[in-house]
Amino acid sequence: MSKKLTTETGQPWADNQHSQTAGSRGPVLMQDYDLLEKLAHFDRERIPERVVHAKGAGAKGEFVLENDMSKYTKADLFNGSGKKTPLIMRFSQVAGEKGYPDTVRDVRGFSVKFYTQKGNYDIVGNNTPVFFVNDPLKFPDFIHSQKRDPKTNRRTQTMQWDFWSHSPESLHQVTYLMGDRGLPTSYREMNGYGSHTFKWVNKNGEQFWIKYHLKSDQGVVNMTNDAAEKISGKDTDFLQNDLFDAIDNENYPSWTMYVQILPYEEGLHYKWDIFDVTKTVSHKDYPLIKVGKLTLNENPSNNFTDVEEAAFSPANLIPGIEASPDKLLQGRLFSYKDTQRYRLGVNFEDLPINKPINEVHNYERDGSMKINNQGSEVNYEPNSFDGPKETLAASVTPVDLEGHSGNQPYNYKVDYTTQAGDLYRLFTDDEKDRLIETIKDCLLQVDSQEIKTLEIKQMYKADPEYGSRVAKALNLNIDEILSTEY
């Protein structure tokens, strides 16, 4: 038996083909509330797209813990080998709008929401282990440089290279982006990283610094500039479609989660600042430890409610997992939920895709589109009516702080070129050739000599061959570049 057409409030809908009119030729009657409701809803079908990571794709699945990590963390999903936790993952592009081709060179977002027994836990990362900036004050400016020129409304190489050349901390990430990993062949064939350093705490209160690595079990596969350009002209949703079709054909993609674990005091005195997100921690110093496997086995039943309305935030932490002093992470703890309140409304966490699987009890009430208003439960505290009580065991573990207040940069072993040079030297000869060619194609579109000079000098400091090759590719004299001051 076919379903009966109804209004949003359940009344039967008599005619969905013809408006009510005064005579067969019209005009339309204002009393046709079905028409007015349909048009009013249609007018509001598009929520504001994400400021960044607007275009993306996602799917549901599960995480299976393969190595009990209770020695390091009391976090629910990492305790008890074999434990299964449902999840949703979303992959995305950083800069492009929702209609932009998803094969354009860009960093890819890599976000996971775990529905644990102790609340939702989100890892909101990228397919690179570092980022362009390490201070949240610079983040809006960075994103503006990746978006559109306010006069021409074009995305320009000048804007982004201008920002990068005046932000030396960006070089490590720029080298990743301009290299092969800037063009993944599919979402299935790229790694994911938490990027920031986080803190794990076990049931005894012992603290450890950790970094997340999610390695693709399909391997890492990238495409060339020519291939990406051809595909973007044929299918602007290539990466999205690949993910959906793979899962639809029961070719379920998976990632193995690893962590690097640094003892608390050792981490504070490591050779690099582990709270600077432009830096990595050497695998030789702290090898990867296997944790478990994430598998995607269910496509969205409705892309809007399952993917567009999905709201991720690094502030979604559970007992046993805490934030580090990382400045950029600290800014993200506020910004991510705040942008969701703008995009989806103040009660976005009531939406089914964002609801935790455990019960919610607090003193937050009302607001637009509130779904779970907690009935007749008392809505203030303190109270004498047995309202929700604090869970002291969930308290954040204290961190010792030192120094003075004020606007100040990182000052612990500041060096923004060595790791970029290390990355360059890890590339094969073919990878280096493609990196130089990509940078050349980009910088040829930049007229400013200052921008080119500043960027090449940074590359030269990272590795003389790196800077010299870029200069040669642009028909510039490296000696003149190195002697020029701005």
- So what's the pLDDT on residue 14? 87
Residues 6+ apart with CB under 8 A from 443: 157, 161, 451, 452, 455, 470, 474
- So what's the pLDDT on residue 33? 81
- So what's the pLDDT on residue 82? 94
Amino acid making up residue 326: D
Co-location of 196 and 284 in the same domain:
yes
Catalytic annotation present for 126 = yes
Q: Tell me how crowded residue 247 is: count the other CB atoms within 10 A of its CB.
A: 20
- DSSP letter assigned to residue 100: S
- So what's the pLDDT on residue 438? 98
231, 219 in Cβ contact below 8 A? no
Task: Spell out the alpha helix ranges (H) of 210-325.
Answer: 225-234, 238-248, 264-268, 303
Catalytic annotation present for 53 = yes
Residue 230, in any domain of the structure: yes
Residue 86, in any domain of the structure: yes
85, 63 in Cβ contact below 8 A? yes
Residues 6+ apart with CB under 8 A from 400: none
Residue 347, in any domain of the structure: yes
Co-location of 322 and 194 in the same domain:
yes
DSSP string, 457-485: HHHHHH-HHHHHHHHHHTT--HHHHHH--
- So what's the pLDDT on residue 453? 97
- Helices and strands in the chain, H and E counts: 14, 10
Pair of tokens at residue 478 = 């490296």
Co-location of 332 and 448 in the same domain:
no
Q: Provide the terminal-to-terminal Cα distance of the chain, rounded to the nearest Å.
A: 76
Residue 447, in any domain of the structure: yes
Co-location of 314 and 428 in the same domain:
no
- So what's the pLDDT on residue 400? 81
- Give the torsion sign (CA, 212, 218, 224, 226): negative
**How far, CA to CA in Å, does 424 sit from each of 152, 223, 435?**
35, 19, 9
**Residue span of the structural domain in which 255 resides:** 56-132+186-354
Co-location of 105 and 246 in the same domain:
yes
* Residue bearing tokens 């079905």: 34
Domain boundary residue, one of 330, 354, 378: 354
Strands 192-193 and 84-93: unpaired
Co-location of 349 and 466 in the same domain:
no
Domain of 302, CATH number, reads: 2.40.180.10
Angle at 54 between CA 49 and CA 60, to 5 degrees: 105
- So what's the pLDDT on residue 301? 96
Residues 6+ apart with CB under 8 A from 109: 53, 56, 90, 91, 92, 93, 94, 124, 125, 126, 127
- So what's the pLDDT on residue 11? 81
Co-location of 119 and 211 in the same domain:
yes
Residue 361, in any domain of the structure: no
Number of domains in the chain: 2
Backbone angles phi, psi at 126, to 5 degrees: -135, 180
Residue 202, in any domain of the structure: yes
Task: Please report, in tens digits, the pLDDT of each residue of the chain (486 residues total).
Answer: 788 888 887 888 888 888 888 988 888 888 888 888 888 788 888 889 998 999 999 999 999 999 999 999 999 999 998 999 999 999 999 998 999 999 999 999 999 999 999 999 999 999 999 999 999 989 999 999 999 999 999 999 999 999 999 999 999 999 999 999 999 999 999 999 999 999 999 999 999 999 999 999 999 999 999 999 999 999 999 999 999 999 999 999 999 999 999 999 999 999 999 999 999 999 999 999 999 999 999 999 999 999 999 999 999 999 999 999 999 999 999 999 999 999 999 999 999 999 999 988 888 889 888 988 999 999 888 899 998 888 888 888 888 878 888 888 888 888 999 999 999 999 999 999 999 999 999 999 999 999 999 999 999 999 999 999 999 999 999 999 999 998
Domain boundary residue, one of 354, 380, 399: 354
Omega of the bond leading into 287 within 30 degrees of 0 (cis): no
Cα 77 vs. chain centroid, distance in angstroms?
21
Residue 452, in any domain of the structure: yes
Residues 6+ apart with CB under 8 A from 91: 56, 57, 58, 108, 109, 110, 111, 187, 239, 243
Q: Look up the pTM and report it.
A: 0.93
SS3 call for 429: helix
- So what's the pLDDT on residue 392? 82
Indicate which residue of 120, 126, 191, 347 is catalytic.
Answer: 126
- So what's the pLDDT on residue 47? 87
Indicate which residue of 53, 172, 196, 213 is catalytic.
Answer: 53
| C-alpha–C-alpha distance, residues 293 and 357, integer Å | 21
